[in-house]
Amino acid sequence: MEKPVSLELKHNEVELIVGNSNSNFSGVTSTMLQVLPYQEKLMKLKVLGNKHHLSDSSLYISFWQAIKIARQPLSNGRIRIFHARRVDEMIQALLLKYLFGAKFKVVFSSAAQRKRSKFTLWLTRRMDAVIAMCKTSATYLEIPPSTIIYHGINIDTFSPAKDKLQTWQAIEFPGKPLNVNKYGIAILGRVRKQKGVHLFVDACIEVFKNNPYYTAIIVGLVTSSHKGFVADLSEKIAKAGLTDRIVFTGEQNFKDIPNIFSSLSLVAALSENEGFGLTALEAMSSGAAVLTTDAGAWPEVIRNEVDGYVVPVNDLQAVTDRLEHLLVDSERLVQMGINGRKNIEDNFTVEREAKELCLFFNSLQ
């Protein structure tokens, strides 16, 4: 007689394996780390790849530990899930499944908005399911995705300051102190042309002539290959006499980023292309108005003229016009920050993302 299937998992059985193959901190890493604590409440999980940045190192497993775990079926008769967000994580999952006999279904989250290589397409076809991060990224998939699940933000971590002006004036960066004016605006992320930093700088130079109450900061790592790009922008800023009002802060500690966001009145995100683009969501959650390009998920998240403005990619005139429109009306700026926070609370929390992911994984039985 066949043994009945148990409805309960045995102690410490792993239902979900989450890939974390990149040791460097990236947007993909950030999304994984933010959703992880909420998923952990819904499914028993482990993280395969790197311990880097994990707040709970006990969640980490090695490739060989994954083999041992995943060879055994779950005692309740359900299917274990491997969630991959990167190409090399898809490779790891397929090796585990077809070479080492791992018993799970592989789900790939696709955020990129670009044409895929033939090898990536081949890997994607071998997934049991594919999640697109937004409607636009879904259009870049060879086969329509199984579902669309938008990223969410931890609204407790990224929250508005009780007193934005006081928080802004208290912000300190290593090196030269900021000449802090009444309002702070910023662009955050890797400092390079692809991120539209030059558009932000050029627009600030133009708009600051008639708006004396703003200081702009460019927050992010400058790699050796982009030092010339930054030097040219710094020279342009100096010629405009704005060295004390448009400042490169360099890379900041990850734990300090939420406080920086909460101090800002406006955040620009002007990339040429994006996978999803958490920056605008983090800004909105922190009560800042946003000015973005129509890259990534931003046009699907930002309510144009309500939370901020969305402009075409690489359109300096549009960036300048919208920046000036925002900075000349501080009441509009404040209201957009309030609107954006409400938008995130209602539609883009990390709790919502975790629930949707786990519901989808459970639907694959």
- Residues 53-70: pLDDT tens digits? 788 889 999 999 999 999
Which pLDDT belongs to residue 179?
67
> Distances in Å between the alpha carbon of 169 and those of 89, 180, 351?
43, 6, 32
Q: Which two tokens stand for residue 125?
A: 């076809």
Q: Which two tokens stand for residue 222?
A: 């400058």
Longest distance between any two alpha carbons in the chain, whole Å: 86
Please give the full DSSP string across 96-133, using - where no structure is assigned: HHHTS---EEEEEEE---SPPPHHHHHHHHT-SEEEES
Least confident window among 19-23, 41-45, 280-284: 19-23
Q: Which domains does the chain have, with CATH numbers?
A: 16-151+349-363 (3.40.50.2000), 164-347 (3.40.50.2000)
What gap in Å lies between CA 257 and CA 301, rounded to an integer? Answer: 21
Instruction: Report which listed range, 41-50, 104-113, 219-228, 336-345, is most confident.
Output: 336-345
- Pairing verdict, β 246-250 and 214-219: parallel
Which residue is associated with the tokens 């008769």? 77
Which pLDDT belongs to residue 234?
97
Helices (H) and strands (E) in the chain, counts: 14, 13
Q: Mean pLDDT over all residues of the chain?
A: 91
Measured in residues, the chain has a length of 365
Q: What is the pTM of this model?
A: 0.88
Which pLDDT belongs to residue 3?
39
Q: Which two tokens stand for residue 17?
A: 């394996």
Please count the other Cβ atoms lying within 10 Å of the Cβ belonging to residue 270: 24
Pairwise pLDDT comparison (95 vs 175), residue with the higher score = 95
Q: Which two tokens stand for residue 259?
A: 């406080």
Beta bridge partners, 84, equal: 108
